Chains A and B, each alone.
Chain A
Amino acid sequence: MRVRMRGATAIAVALLIGAAGCGGGSSNNNSSTSGTSSGGGQAGGTATVLMGTAPDYLDPQLGYTTQSAEPDWIIYTPLLTYRHANGTSGGQLIPGLATALPTVSRDGLTYTLTLRRGLTFSDGRPVRGSDFAYTIMRAIRVNWGGKSFYTNYIAGAAAYDRGSASTISGITTDDATGRITIRLTQPYGGFANVLAFPSSGLVPSGTAMRNLSNTPPPGVGPYKYSSVSVNRGFTIVRNPAFARFAIPNIPTGHLDTIRVTIVSNTQSEAQQVLNNQADVFDAGDTLPPALLPQIESQASDRFGRVPIPSTYYFFLNVTKPPFNNAKARQAVNMAIDRQAMVRLASGFLKPTCWFLPEGIVGHPGNNVRCPYGSTPDLAAAKRLVQQSGTAGTAVTVWGEQRSPRREYVDYYTDLLNKLGFKAQERIIADTVYFPTIGNAKTDPQTGFADWIQDFPNPSDFYLLMDGRSIQPTNNQNFSKVNDPHIQAELNRLNPVPATQLNSVANDWSTLDQYTASRAYVAVYGTETMPKFFSNRINFGAAVFHPTYLNDWTTLQLK
């Protein structure tokens, strides 16, 4: 996922709806926060969450940015999900709508789960096992950006994607018993994590196979969508039915209502939280450098920096000039000044050249020398460009509007021009950025990209290097890498169960060094994210999840 969880991000200047009062009083004290400390806060009330970028989609089978994952995680509970906890504990898989973690056959090809009994969607319809099969079909049919996680592994999913099958043969369900069986074509060690994607969050059978962001479908979770105002914001409210299910380790939430407002100006966004006019700063945004000293001095008790496994990079489309030339790609990697990127990020970036970030198995480590050096060598890079014969090639650099991503692209464009290319920028609205550059019709040469872990497994990051993940819309493999060696290694390493990942850490590390040497992307850093609240929120009790960032179910008014 990108921060745009994948990253994400967006647009639209919206007026902040002021935080509603602390209302609610103590009318509802049945919220539980398993695994978190309530810290003496109150139940109920309303909080205002700001987002610098509108979610890419408010449809669980389409959303793939941090801004969409934050609400989707607590509105559409999948069969499996993650513990609502900080740090590495947050990466632990727990049963969601399933009664237990899956039973996996000895060959790693068959996953069996059982749906909990008595579940209902937020609109009251009963949840059935067949809804799971329908949900996966829907994610494939509407072209979710990570659909290759399904089509690459679930038997019959590729045929369904091609249109040669009307259902996915590898998924069998029994509505009477709630038994769900998933058959894979090849073992995949991270498949249990795939079942925990928000896109695997169940929606009712029959939900329209199209983008339903304006009227999101019902789900099963502590919260449900209440209203959506496109590109301006949305509101979620507590789902009263969820508490009855008493699913262990999934909090039912403290707040009655969470209002999300899009504020594309990060300066305004930060100022509102600093002044307690809004409650939560978008963790996917970078705090403006002008306000940082003030925040650190005046709000130190409600501000923190949380390192998150993420990779920030410029993609280099290997199918188009000039970056179909290896020397041109190497020149970019040789010339990029990662310390400059750190400053552009107001210090919220840690420089690295590796695609696998710290905290992910296979990260080569900071003691391993970067293939093209850790310090920029512009003169040598220029010579490489001259040798490559690509000097003078017109390059369009794609980027987002929001800061500091605009500044990254400004820097990068200047760098490409210094290298001898004729670079120009194309900055587009944050909300449409990733769908635009992920569309085959756009077929961009180069531009900004980032990735935050969907789950703590290197194979999640290597979705972006997997030739099989190239798709006509919502593509995530922006560099269009389809390298036989990488494919062979992925075929070998992906089946390794998550519990045995450490046994192949060196193999992943070797692969990552190979990827860096091929210069398919120009990685420049891994991000530290801001956890920044108003003084109305119980800061200590709020969980900052390693994948879903601010865990809204743990937000609590003081």
Chain B
Amino acid sequence: MTATADSTVRAGAPAGRGADTAAGLSPYRLGLRRLLRNKPALAFGALFLLIVVLCLCAPLYAKYVAHTGPNDNHVTETVTVGGVKHDVVSPTGQPIGPTWQGQFLLGADQNGRDIAVRLLYGGRNSLEVGFIATLLTMVLATIVGIVAGFFRGVVDGVLARVLDLIWAYPVVLLGIALGTSLALGGITIGPLDLQGNSLLVPAFIIGIVYIPYVAKPIRGQVLGLREQEFVDAARVGGAGPMRIMWSEILPNLSSTIIVFVPLMIANAILLEAALSYLGAGVQPPNPSWGTMIADGIRLIPSAMHLTFVPGAMLVLAVLGVNVFGDGVRDALDPRAKVRLEEHAEEASR
């Protein structure tokens, strides 16, 4: 949200108008009320939540239903379907298709691994990377944005150039470059030692490359906030820079941060899939939706579902969190929607 006179409330945030404001509800209650009225956003939010829950249940499914782990090979084994024994992988290397039963529900891949199990574990990995990356992005971008916007001058100049440097590289290319090199050697930051195949490596990469996309808008907002009267009042009251940033500026950024979170999760999941597809994200044999799509491509003519199913899960997850994110944005900052509609009208004219 933009820093305007009516947004300088200590609570920070969501802007309210009209009848809602008159009702005397807190901004967050107003936001929640608007969100609850937005049925499509709620439906897609529920879809995303369902996917998350399913993926979290992956170990249970693997243990009690499929009776196999995500990386367990069953190349020369057989499975009984409808009373008939079938090779999991045929002598010519063709994996079994969907059995529509507990074992190999969605079929097997070329190594005889259960696709359904890998799909859920892959989702877990993709979501884990997405959430960690978003957390990293939001924390670092908020710190950088606030510090740069509040101090301005040399500090702002240096931080802005660093952000420009990251921004100058296309996200995917930067991700591939970092992913390829870190996947080989891992990364050590102080006491933190990440192996090349750790899920934290792609999370770290994605978290870093998206910082400018969040830090820049936050910085712009802080530049306006720091000139507001409540900040002057805090300064006169003897508050130092750290306290002002923490107690006065940060709360006023909360709705912006909240709006960014689901959008960044969606972007992070997509980038993770892209990097994994290209071999620079989640490292084999660990599954992720991106690696599963890549693995399935060579079998497309005979087993399209190997590519289609993880692709569909990816689309649904990203769509779910994106539409829900839009709903959150509309709820917390309705003017953003008005602005977007105005832009659309101008564009159509």
Chain A residues near B (Cβ < 8 Å): 265-267, 288-294, 337, 339-340, 342-347, 401, 403-404, 406-407, 409-411, 413-415, 417, 424-428
Contacts and interface: CB of A to CB of B under 8 A. Distances in A.
Interface string B17-60: 00000000000000000000000000000000000000000000
B93 interface: yes
B243 to A, nearest CB: 47
A344 B298 contact: no
Contacts of B303: 290
A424 B194 CA distance: 14
Interface string B110-129: 11000000000000000000
A414 B93 contact: no
Contacts of B197: 424-426
A346 B111 CA distance: 11
Contacts of A415: 73
A292 B92 contact: yes
A342 B285 contact: no
B301 interface: yes
Interface in B279-335: 279, 283-285, 297-303
Given A289-B299, A413-B285, 5 more contacts: A266-B298, A289-B93, A340-B73, A410-B71, A426-B283
Nearest to A289: B93
B75 interface: yes
A392 to B, nearest CB: 16
A410 B284 contact: yes
B91 interface: yes
B93 A410 contact: no
Contacts of A407: 110-111
Contacts of A347: 91-93
A291 B297 CA distance: 12
A90 B71 CA distance: 43
A288 B110 CA distance: 10
Contacts of A289: 90, 92-94, 110, 299, 302
Nearest to A413: B285
Given A410-B111, A427-B283, A343 B302 contact: no
Q: In this complex, which of A290, A337, A346, A411 has the most chain B Cβ atoms within 10 angstroms of its Cβ?
A: A290
B184 A340 contact: no
Contacts of A426: 183-184, 196-197, 283
B298 A403 contact: yes
B195 interface: yes
B111 A290 contact: no
B89 interface: yes
A527 B298 CA distance: 20
Interface of B: 71-73, 75-76, 89-94, 110-111, 183-184, 195-197, 279, 283-285, 297-303
A413 B69 CA distance: 14
A345 B93 contact: yes
Contacts of B73: 340, 410-411, 414-415
A290 B94 contact: yes
A385 to B, nearest CB: 18
Given A290-B301, A427-B284, A343 B195 contact: no
A351 to B, nearest CB: 11
Contacts of B279: 401, 427
Nearest to B77: A340
A343 B76 contact: yes
B214 to A, nearest CB: 32
6 contacts: A266-B298, A289-B93, A294-B301, A404-B93, A404-B110, A424-B197
B284 A411 contact: no
B93 A346 contact: yes
Contacts of B92: 289, 292-293, 343, 346-347
A347 B303 CA distance: 18
Q: In this complex, which of A267, A293, A413, A426 has the most chain B Cβ atoms within 10 angstroms of its Cβ?
A: A426
A345 B299 CA distance: 14
A344 B184 CA distance: 25
A293 to B, nearest CB: 8
A406 B284 contact: yes
A291 B303 CA distance: 11
B91 A343 contact: yes
A267 B184 CA distance: 27
B297 A410 contact: no
B300 A410 contact: no
A403 B294 CA distance: 11
Contact of A428 (B75, B111, B184, B195): B184
A424 B195 contact: yes
Q: In this complex, which of A294, A403, A410, A427 has the most chain B Cβ atoms within 10 angstroms of its Cβ?
A: A410
A31 to B, nearest CB: 37
Contacts of A292: 92-93
Task: Please list the 3 inter-chain residue pairs (A to B) with the smallest Cβ-Cβ separation, ordered nearest first.
Answer: A289-B93, A346-B93, A340-B75
A289 B94 CA distance: 6
B70 to A, nearest CB: 10
Contacts of B300: 267, 290
A265 B90 contact: no
Contact of B111 (A266, A293, A411, A424): A411
A6 B270 CA distance: 38
Q: In this complex, which of B111, B283, B285, B302 has the most chain A Cβ atoms within 10 angstroms of its Cβ?
A: B285
A288 B89 CA distance: 14
B76 A340 contact: yes
